[in-house]
Amino acid sequence: MTKQAIVPGNGDSRPLVMHVLYSFDVGGLENGVVNIVNRMPPERFRHTVVALSHCADGFCKRVQRDDVQFISLHKPPGHGIKLYPRLFRLFRQHRPAVVHTRNLAALEAAVPAWAAGVPVRVHGEHGWDVNDPGGTLRKYQLMRRAYSPFVVRYVALSAQIERYLVDRVGVAAERVERICNGVDTVRFRPAADGMRAPLRGNPFDGQELLVIGTVGRLQAVKDQLNLVHAFGIARRNGGEAAVRLRLVIAGEGPLRPVLEDEIRQQGLTDVVWMAGERKDVPEVMRSLDIFALPSKAEGISNTILEAMASGLPVVATDVGGNGELVEEGHTGLLVPAENPITMAEALMCYASNAALRNSHGLAGRHRVEQGFSLDGMVARYTELYERMLRQRSH
């Protein structure tokens, strides 16, 4: 699938970056690649996206440049060693200056990139495998260590992941640098006049309501079930303010039937909206009063940044890099993972205090503008690629 075919040797002197990831479909990691490709100065680099499994047609359309190639390798389950010859030929054919792999599922591609003579091999760690949410499994630490000789530079998206690479995997500190995610503060902005904005299909548009929301793939590690439990507790025990509470869960995934069953069992059908996968996430954010992230594990959460940029107070579990984003008691509230009672208390803290919602939302917006701009993130990746190319050419 190609927007415009890139033919090696066609006279284009711009260095080529090949982004290798497990799949190119809806997700925070994947959206980060889209932002880099769209915003990196086109005169500096060309880009190709290689998915070990598949590039989804709809998601590829988010890339706005017409000189980007998308390659799906349709990898079967298991180790990717059978793909090594194909990846080797791919790298030899296209002659990328940089191969940038992301997360453990794509790390193995660093081996054929090394064999093909790719000068700069960057590996980004965005978060841990769904089967290893805390990064504690020795097996995955050893796998990362085994591939380390084939990686020139590591990018950690949070301080916690940076410490993990150095302390647990054994990567030398000078080979790791931290580049946090950035957010588009033009697309993600507060609703006008501090009023929740209408959203297509939303049954909870009434301004008298208080709408809690979350956005993310419906899967166990994201633990939306914990949020449903917390919401149910808040509705039962929150007093007068609780009557106004509504919950919006945006996203699709394997956990949906479990969530729907739990919502029915708790008698919450009329006050919870399963919104499905949405293409209008900025509008979803502007239709909320409070954002909640109930995950069991996270790297650096794009959705937290998007919520903060949208002027929302955030209730998040204190896992992964969430504490690096949410300033406790200033832009949001952090609660233990898998503890619906504590999450319910945090939600009710905001539900009963409009001034606190407003002040924390404004502080979150300011924090994103100062420290997590999309342009700043892209500039750091551009500088990294160019610096590594200069170093490898000497």
* Distance, CA of 48 to CA of 46 (rounded, Å): 7
pLDDT for the residue numbered 5 = 38
Residues whose CB falls within 8 Å of the CB of residue 25, separated by 6 or more in sequence, listed in order: 54, 55, 56, 59
> 109 with 204, same domain?
no
Give the CATH number of the domain where residue 292 resides.
3.40.50.2000
- In this structure, the answer to whether residues 87 and 136 fall within a common structural domain is yes
Q: Report residue 191 CA to chain centroid gap.
A: 23
**364: in domain:** yes
pLDDT tens-place string over residues 256-288: 999 999 999 999 999 999 999 998 999 999 999
| Whole-number Å distance between alpha carbons of 298 and 301 | 6
Give the pLDDT confidence of 202-244 residue by residue, as tens digits: 999 999 999 999 999 999 999 999 999 999 999 999 888 899 9
> In which band, very low, low, confident or very high, does the pLDDT at 3 lie, cut at 50, 70 and 90?
very low
> Which residue is listed with tokens 């298991």?
78
If asked whether residues 228 and 147 sit together in one domain, one would say no
pLDDT score at 2: 43
Indicate whether 218 and 92 sit together in one domain.
no
For residues 119 and 161, state if they share a domain: yes
Q: Do 222 and 247 share a domain, yes or no?
A: yes
pLDDT at position 6 is 38
The C-alpha atoms of residue 17 and residue 19 are separated, in whole angstroms, by: 6
- Regarding whether 280 and 159 lie in a shared domain, the answer is no
Calculate mean pLDDT across residues 23-35.
89
Q: Are residues 118 and 133 in the same domain?
A: yes
> Cα separations (Å) of 203 from 150, 200, 270, 272?
52, 9, 9, 9
Average pLDDT over residues 11-15: 87
Indicate whether 187 belongs to any domain.
no
Q: Tell me what pLDDT residue 297 has.
A: 86
For position 10, what pLDDT does the model report?
58
Question: Which amino acid, one-letter code, is at 4?
Answer: Q
96 lies in the same domain as 113 = yes
CA distance 343 to 234: 9
Domain assignment present for residue 1? The answer is: no
pLDDT for position 320 = 85
Q: What pLDDT, on a 0 to 100 scale, did the predictor assign at position 321?
A: 87
| Residue 49 within any structural domain of the chain | yes
Domain with 247 in it: 192-371
Number of domains making up the chain: 2
- Per-residue pLDDT of 352-388, as tens digits, reads 999 999 999 999 999 999 989 899 999 999 999 999 9
User: pTM, whole model, 2 decimals?
Assistant: 0.81
| Domain membership flag for residue 8 | no
Does residue 9 lie in a domain region? Answer: no
Residues 55 and 104 in one domain: yes
Report yes or no on 254 lying in a domain.
Answer: yes
Residues 178 and 293 in one domain: no
Pick from 2-11, 22-31, 127-136, 299-308: least confident:
2-11
Residue 9's pLDDT is what? 44
pLDDT digits (tens, 9 = 90+) for 282-332: 999 999 999 999 999 887 888 999 999 999 999 999 998 899 999 999 999
Kindly state whether residues 367 and 383 are assigned to the same domain.
no
- Lowest pLDDT segment from 47-61, 182-196, 281-295: 182-196
Of 19, 53, 29, nearest in space to 130 by CA: 29
CB 354 within 8 A of CB 194: no
Complete DSSP assignment for 312-360: --EEEES-TTHHHHS-BTTTEEEE-TT-HHHHHHHHHHHHT-HHHHHHH
The answer to whether position 7 is within a domain reads no
